Amino acid sequence: MPRSVWLLVAARAINRLGAFSLPFLTVLISADFGASATTAGLLSAAFGLATIPSRLAGGRLATTLGRRRTIVAGLTGCAVAQLGIAAAGSLAEVAVFAILLGLAFELYEPPSQALIADAVGPADRVRAYGLLNAGLAAGGAGAGLMAAVLGRWDLRWLFVADALTCLLCALVLHLTLPVDRADRADRPAGRRGGGAERVRPWRDRALWAVFVPGTLFALVGMQTVMGLPLTLARRGLPPADAGLLFTASAVTAVLVQPALRLRRLASLSDSSALALGHVLLALGLGGYARASSLPAFVAATVVCGLGEVLVMSRIFGVVAGLAPRGGADGYLAAYGISWGIATVAAPVTSTQALEHLGAAAPWAGAALLCLALAATYLLLVGPLLAARDRSAPDGVGAGGGSVPAAATDPR
C-alpha cells in the first residue's frame, strides 16, 4: 500500500481509539442535567441529522479547499465541539455543541475515502478500504477499554479524551499528508471551482442504485449498535456484554483481512461479493433472533462481522469507480448520507421494534431485509453496473474511475 494509505489508516485508528464518547452523550444529558430520556434521544437525533450536511460539505470543501485542509478542519472542529460538551454548564450549551459536533463529524470522511481511491489502482481498492476498516476496528476494540476506565471517573473526561485523539490525528495528517495543490486540469477556464460544478452525483442512476440499498444496510448496522444492549437485557444477560460483542466484531474485522486476498474471493464481481456479504449478515442477524447465551451471541457477531467486512471493503470502491475524473469526493460524500439517515432513524426504529415486536422479530426482519438486499445486488445493481462498464471507454470502468477487480487482479 502507498505511504498515504498507511498514514490515513494509522491516524484514523488513533482517532477511533478515542471515539467512545458519543454512546454516552444521552447518559451525560440525563445524569448531569436531569433531562428525560425523550429529550436525550431528541438531542442524539439532532446530532445525527447534522451529520448529513456535514458529509455533503466534506465533499464540497475537498474540491475547493483541498483534501488535507478539509480533513484537518473536520477533526479540529470535532475536538472543539467535544471540549465544549465537556465544559458545558447547561442543557442548552450541550445541545449547541452536540449539533456543532454533528456538523463537523463527517467533514473528513469523503476526502479520506477519496484519497485512498486515488492512491491505489482499482484492483487494490478492496484491500485498501479493507485495511482502513481494519484500522478503525482495531482502534474501536481499544476504545471500549478506555471508556470503561474514564467513564467510571467522570463522563465528561470521555469527551476530553475524544477531543485529544481528534487533535492528535489532525496533527499527524497535517504534517504527513501531501500539501493541497490546486488542480486546474479538470476545471473549465473562466469558471471558479468548475471541476466541482460538473460533478452531479444525484443525477447518476447508478449511484442511486447503490445508495438505496446502502442506506438500508446502514440502518441494519445502526440497529445492531442500538439494539444489542436492549436485546441482551431481554434475554437475561447484562447489557454491558454488548461491549464484548462489539470487540468480537472488531477483532473479526482485523483477522479476516488476509482472506480478502484469496483468489476465489478477490475474483468475485463487486455485485457478487456484496450479495455474499449480505447473506452472511442475514445468517448472523438470524442468530441474534435465536441466541439466548453469550457464546451464541458471539458466534452470531462473528458471522455478522464477516459480512460487514465484505460489504465495507467493496462498496466504497464501487462508489469511487462511478465518479467522473476528479469527482470521487462528491460521490463518496453523497453516498455517505446513507449513514446520516440511519443515525437519525435507528434510535427510533430499533427501540420501537423491540418494544412492540419483542426481542426476536426485529432481528428476523433485519435478516430478511439483508436477503432482499443480496438479491437486489445480484439481479438489479450488478446488471446496471455491468452495462455501465460496457458503455465506458476501453480500460475504464463505470464512471470513468475503475475497472472490476477480477479483470485486473491476477490473485
Range of lowest pLDDT (16-20, 139-143, 345-349, 396-400):
396-400
- Residue-by-residue DSSP string for 28-91: HHHHHH---HHHHHHHHHHHHHHHHHHHHHHHHHHHHT-HHHHHHHHHHHHHHHHHHHHH--SH
Higher pLDDT, 126 or 170: 170
Averaged pLDDT, 314-333: 83
Same domain for 215 and 276, yes or no, is: yes
Same domain for 233 and 375, yes or no, is: yes
**pLDDT at position 337, please?**
86
- Distant-in-sequence, close-in-space partners of 6: CB < 8 Å, separation ≥ 6: none
Averaged pLDDT, 57-64: 87
**pLDDT at position 145, please?**
65
CA 262, distance to chain mean position in Å, is: 24
Same domain for 171 and 206, yes or no, is: no
**pLDDT at position 6, please?**
87
Same domain for 173 and 244, yes or no, is: no
Higher pLDDT, 133 or 197: 133
Whether 14 is in a domain gets the answer yes
Instruction: Compute the distance between CA of residue 77 and CA of residue 72 in angstroms, rounded to an integer.
Output: 8
Question: Please, what is the angle between helix 109-119 and helix 294-322, to 10°?
Answer: 70
Same domain for 230 and 144, yes or no, is: no
Instruction: Compute the distance between CA of residue 216 and CA of residue 220 in angstroms, rounded to an integer.
Output: 6
Whether 125 is in a domain gets the answer no
Which CA distances in Å does 169 have to 26, 56, 114, 116? 26, 22, 18, 17
Instruction: Compute the distance between CA of residue 122 and CA of residue 119 in angstroms, rounded to an integer.
Output: 10
pLDDT tens-digit profile of 116-146?
888 887 778 888 888 888 888 777 777 666 6
Number of residues written out for the chain: 411
Whether 38 is in a domain gets the answer yes
**% the chain with pLDDT above 90:** 23
Tell me the three cell numbers of residue 60: 464540497
Query: Where residue 172 sits, what CATH number does that domain have?
Result: 1.20.1250.20
Averaged pLDDT, 272-301: 94
Whether 193 is in a domain gets the answer no
Tell me the residue range of the domain where 115 lies.
Answer: 1-120+140-180
Same domain for 55 and 111, yes or no, is: yes
pLDDT band per the 50, 70, 90 thresholds, residue 273 = very high
Whether 189 is in a domain gets the answer no
**pLDDT at position 400, please?**
40
Q: Are 372 and 154 in contact (CB under 8 A)?
A: no
Same domain for 367 and 225, yes or no, is: yes
How buried is 33 (Cβ within 10 angstroms: 0-12 exposed, 13-18 middle, 19+ buried)? middle
Same domain for 169 and 82, yes or no, is: yes
pLDDT tens-digit profile of 204-229?
888 899 999 999 999 999 888 878 87
Q: What is the pTM of this model?
A: 0.73
Same domain for 252 and 331, yes or no, is: yes
Same domain for 262 and 335, yes or no, is: yes
Residue with cell 447534522: 50
| Number of domain units in the chain | 2
b/e 88-110 (16+ beta carbons within 10 angstroms → b): beebeebbebbebbbbbbbbbbb
**pLDDT at position 135, please?**
81
pLDDT tens-digit profile of 231-264?
888 888 887 677 788 888 888 888 888 887 788 8
Same domain for 97 and 168, yes or no, is: yes
Same domain for 50 and 109, yes or no, is: yes
Instruction: Compute the distance between CA of residue 2 and CA of residue 52 in angstroms, rounded to an integer.
Output: 30
Residue 19's nearest CA partner among 224, 167, 150, 159 is: 159
